[in-house]
Amino acid sequence: GTCSYLRWYMNGKTGASYPSSQQVNAAIEGKIRRLVSHSRGWEFAVHMLAQAGDPDTAYNLARNDWHRFGQALQAILVSGQSRGVFPSPHNYKLDHTDGSEWDCNYDFQCYFLYQQRAELYRWIDLRCEHMLVDPRGL
C-alpha cells in the first residue's frame, strides 16, 4: 500500500536478500497460477509455505496476498531459510506512540488534506453522470 511507496521514496527500492534464477521465478509463478485457479488455493498455499519451513509468514499473510506469498516461497526455495532470518533493509522501529523510539535518519511528518464528504460525493456523482452522458460511453 501507501507505506510501501513511502519507504521506496525515502530509502529506495529494497532488493531481495537472496538471488533467484529465472527457473525459480518461473516455477513460483506457475505454482501461484495453479493455486489461484483452485477454489481452495489460498488454504493450500498457506499450508505449503508452513510445511516448507516458514509457518510464521504463512499464517500472518493477508488472505490472497500472492505477491508476499511468492516472496516467502522464493526465500525458502533459494536459501532454504524463511524470510524472517534475513535482515530488514530499513530499520523502522516505533515502540512508543509518542514517537520517542522512532529510529529513522529523517524527520517524518504527516499532513492530511481532505474535503468535506458531502462535497466529495457531489464531485463523484457529477463525474459518474458525465461518464454516462458521454457518447463514447464508459
d(CA 123, CA 112): 19
Q: Say which residue the cell 516455477 belongs to.
A: 27
Q: Taking the CB of residue 74, how many other CB atoms lie within 10 A of it?
A: 18
Q: State the average pLDDT for the chain.
A: 79
Domains of the chain: 18-85 (1.10.20.140)
List, for residues 22-47, the tens digit of each pLDDT value: 888 888 999 999 999 998 999 999 99
Report if pTM > 0.75.
Answer: no
Cα–Cα distance between 7 and 92 in angstroms, integer?
10
Smallest Cα–Cα separation from 92: which of 104, 80, 81? 104
Over residues 81-116, the pLDDT tens digits come to 787 776 655 555 555 555 555 556 667 677 877 778
- State yes or no: pLDDT of 17 exceeds 70: no
At 19 the pLDDT is 61
- List, as one string, the DSSP characters of 8-68: HHHH-PPPPSS---HHHHHHHHHHHHHHHHSTTHHHHHHHHHHHHT-HHHHHHSPTT-HHH
